[in-house]
């Protein structure tokens, strides 16, 4: 290959070539290493995740529990998105059942806008329960133009209207009242421009996505004392 990742415009394309040229298939890279290579791209983690839609296999600690939270494994190269036309997804196609499962699984069965899991009641409206759907989200790319990303969203976020009108002053005031670890985590999300779900939230989403009987079984085993419980089949 005669082009270098440093020569490319567009974060996703250069991240893809960076993986190929600097990390290599099968190897582990860290968030710190990625950010050091792209110091001026604040959304670089997200761009790397987008590669999955183009057939790239990149494991996190969710797919590969032996990995640390800041580590990912570049398992397999996908489409060469740096080549003309390769980064365009088929926007009109219907979402297949397999694709739907993959997206839900990747998103931890949580609405990617508000974090609610299927069947949970909303914090400000205990009488309506969340239903999850797959939404198409238009993402504008650095080169101009845009791509469409499939994401898990609850009905309410997809429709876009919260019943209550947001008040920026109230949001700022509440953010200012956060203390300790909550304050630290929230500020990190704000700085990164995206919310990173914690291991606890991901695990909670996985638990809620189990069928009712296995969920009851899992709940019992967890409350009985962690790994001492019987495996759930």
Q: Is 154 in the site for Zn ion (CB under 5 A)?
A: yes
d(CA 114, CA 112): 6
3-state DSSP assignment of residue 34: helix
Q: How many residues bind Zn ion (CB under 5 A)?
A: 5
In the complex, least distance from residue 155 CB atom to Zn ion, rounded to whole angstroms: 8
In the complex, least distance from residue 208 CB atom to Zn ion, rounded to whole angstroms: 14
Inter-axis angle of helices 199-208 and 212-225, nearest 10:
140
| Region of 75-83, 149-157, 176-184, 213-221 interacting with Zn ion (CB under 5 A) | 149-157
d(CA 2, CA 11): 19
In the complex, least distance from residue 122 CB atom to Zn ion, rounded to whole angstroms: 8
Closest listed residue to residue 111, CA positions, set 64, 69, 65, 159: 159
Of 23 and 111, nearer to Zn ion (C-beta) is: 111
| Region of 157-165, 166-174, 182-190, 198-206 interacting with Zn ion (CB under 5 A) | 157-165
Q: Is 157 in the site for Zn ion (CB under 5 A)?
A: yes
If you write DSSP's letter for every residue of 156-174 in order, what string do you get?
HHHH---SSPP-HHHHHHH
Q: Using CB under 5 A, which of 42, 60, 113, 131 touches Zn ion? A: 113
Of 48 and 157, nearer to Zn ion (C-beta) is: 157
Binding mask 69-108 for Zn ion (x = CB under 5 A): ----------------------------------------
Q: What is the CA radius of gyration of the chain?
A: 20
d(CA 27, CA 146): 30
Residue 83, Cα to own-chain centre: how many angstroms? 25
List of residues contacting Zn ion (CB under 5 A): 111, 113-114, 154, 157
């Amino acid at each position: 290959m005669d082009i270098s990742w440093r020569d490319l415009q567009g974060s996703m394309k250069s991240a893809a070539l960076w993986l190929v040229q600097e990390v290599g298939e099968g190897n582990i890279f860290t968030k710190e290493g990625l950010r050091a290579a792209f110091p001026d791209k604040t959304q670089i983690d997200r761009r790397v995740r987008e590669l999955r839609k183009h057939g790239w296999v990149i494991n996190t600690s969710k797919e590969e529990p032996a990995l640390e939270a800041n580590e990912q494994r570049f398992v397999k190269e996908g489409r060469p998105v740096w080549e003309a036309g390769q980064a365009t997804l088929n926007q009109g196609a219907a979402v297949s059942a397999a694709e739907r499962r993959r997206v839900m699984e990747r998103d931890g069965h949580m609405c990617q806008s508000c974090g609610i899991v299927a069947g949970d009641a909303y914090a400000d409206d205990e009488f309506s329960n969340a239903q999850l759907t797959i939404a198409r989200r238009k993402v504008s790319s650095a080169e101009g133009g845009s791509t469409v990303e499939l994401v898990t969203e609850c009905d309410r976020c997809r429709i876009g209207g919260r019943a209550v009108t947001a008040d920026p002053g109230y949001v700022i005031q509440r953010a200012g009242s956060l203390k300790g670890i909550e304050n630290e985590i929230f500020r990190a999300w704000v700085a990164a421009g995206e919310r990173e779900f914690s291991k606890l939230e991901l695990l909670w989403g996985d638990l809620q996505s189990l069928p009712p009987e296995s969920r009851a079984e899992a709940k019992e085993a967890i409350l009985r004392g962690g790994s001492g419980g019987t495996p759930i089949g």
